[in-house]
Amino acid sequence: MSQKIAVVTGGTGGLGISMCQAMCDQGHKVIATYYPSDEMKAYAEDKQASLQTSGYDITLYPLDVTDFAGCQAFVSQLETDLGPIDILVNNAGITRDAPIKRMEADQWQAVIDTNLSSVFNMSKLVFEGMCERGWGRIVNISSLNGEKGQFGQANYAAAKAGIYGFTRSIAQEGARKGVTVNAISPGYIDTPMVRQVPEKVLNSIIEGIPVGRLGQPEEIARAVAFLTDEASGFITGTNLSINGGQYMS
């Protein structure tokens, strides 16, 4: 498979880093985006330096994925610097949890904008070019809780569920043009964010997972690598649930 330009939004987090590494291993030029704040810049640059010592050359770009004009500028700059985007992994996401009776409008909107509208923003900007070139891969990261819902996460679950309809719709638009669009729904994965959950709660979560453990970021990354591979052109419009059997549909 020839080298492609691959973009992973939210590419410096626990899952994002593993996805970037997996596509570097495929021989691609990988770009990871991060939220443009001083704190996130310092964190991302530290991650980048650590990866470089392991032989992973990942390019960082600051990007607010909720800002369509900013996404336009990013894609234009990237095409000027490196070339057209062949692979897009929409991974950026946040949580603002609260039961609906206490959820504020800004909590709802922030999650919808970051977790769902961003998927439109980035996909729209790369989709036409992929179709014109006759090849492209888009993978949208949803969630177990988008499949089954979750107490206190009406905003998050709604955004992640919305990814399925979006994925299946544009998969139909790109199918005859060599562009595949798929979703992945991770369950509970062993990332720093999950490890911050109180031990008693985390143990309860693990007890509810039939395989008896958390997933590993590398297991999600392998799925991303599989769906973005040249040989996966007959897979489109689907969702791959990776949750240790916690939810089966």
Closest to 123 measured CA to CA, from 185, 180, 60, 40:
180
Residue 102: what residue type? R
Question: What burial letters (b/e) apply to 81-91, b meaning 16+ CB within 10 Å?
Answer: eeeebbbbbbb
Q: 31 near 62, Cβ under 8 Å?
A: no
**Vertex 10 angle, CA 107 and 91, to 5°:** 80
Strands 5-8 and 87-90 turn out to be: parallel
Q: 217 is written with which tokens?
A: 């970021």
Distances (CA, A) of 126 to 123, 131, 165: 5, 9, 19
Residue of 35, 43, 56, 156 marked catalytic: 156
Active site residue 247: no
CA–CA gap between residue 80 and residue 68 (Å, rounded): 18
Rounded to 5 degrees, what are φ and ψ at 94? -140, 170
CA–CA gap between residue 85 and residue 12 (Å, rounded): 19
Give me the active site residues, please. Answer: 156
